[in-house]
Structure 1
Amino acid sequence: MQRFLMRAAHFTNLIGQTALWLAGLGVVFMTIIIFLQVFVRYVLNSSLPWTEPGAVMVMGWFIFLGAAVGVREGYHLAFDVVLYFIPERLKLVFFSISDLVVMAFAGGMVWYGIQLAVKTAGNKLPSLGVSGAFDFAPLVVGGALIILFSLERLLRRAAGLPTARFGTDDDPNGGPGAMRPVEAQ
């Protein structure tokens, strides 16, 4: 099982790195959109109607992609104070409970995101000319990635492999997320 999980970690690492790059590009793209709107409004004394909803849509993408990467790397919200006072074995139980709660929340994101997308698919965003379902696509994709990354963390922990931040996250290639088996350390 450890070998399979290590091979799967390369795949999820690639997904995580891609999501992180897309989130970073989204921040840059949103900044360009906002700059363009400010320039057109205050320098050219005009307005571009698509910039505000476009920037909000891009912001949804980088928020949810970044949140998914944060879950994979172990940087999601946690109550770490208790972890300083409990035995090492019990910490693993708490981490697993945390991952299950995060996974359940992400399941809700996917479930309700799909419902919202279906209900708004017939609406057209006037300034962008796209379906209203596109507003909820980041919620669904981000939730699916959070489920994938939480499941990876649970399976790694069950197989005795470290998980990012809560074990060793050393990568022989120098990047975060490609975690080694405990025996290789």
Structure 2
Amino acid sequence: MPYKPGTPPAYGPLKLQIPNLPILGPHDWGKLLKNIYDSIVAEATAADLYYRLLRETPNELHREFVHHAYQDELKHLEAFSRLYSFFTGQKPHYTIDPVQYRSYEEGLLISLQSELEAAEFYHEVILSSTDGLVRDTFFLAMGDELEHATRFGVLYAMTKGSPLFYNVGEPQSQGEIK
């Protein structure tokens, strides 16, 4: 049937090719549980790092951004722990290896990198599962991780003296140009 302007095209079963889910391979129950567990450990590790960074923040904007990420990581930790308990009937037992850093600036850079890695990992989990609860939980966390990466990128640029962020978050007197 030819296309007529102003009418939506008709999609037949052979005309529209959408890949079958999961995109990244067949469902693997053991791998899914490992991914959830690894996410729990990663979120707990990030929360620990941000808690320590909070004590070193140089101004209110830094405190606000780091605290926001810290609170979100605690929410993700709770969500992934509930997901793990839902599938296994057990609470997760885990330990973390605290992230070591030599300076606040290095802590920000490590945070930025780990947030981007987490977002990519969560994206892969989303594409490898057909379970709605799994996909939704990881999708919400992925969005937050991308937001955190943006915030940590801004903070890192500020600590490096980027002219785009010169004195952002610090009060300016009226008419003062720096």
User: What TM bracket, shorter-length normalisation?
Assistant: 0.3 to 0.5
Greater share of residues in helix? 1
TM-score (normalised: structure 2): 0.36
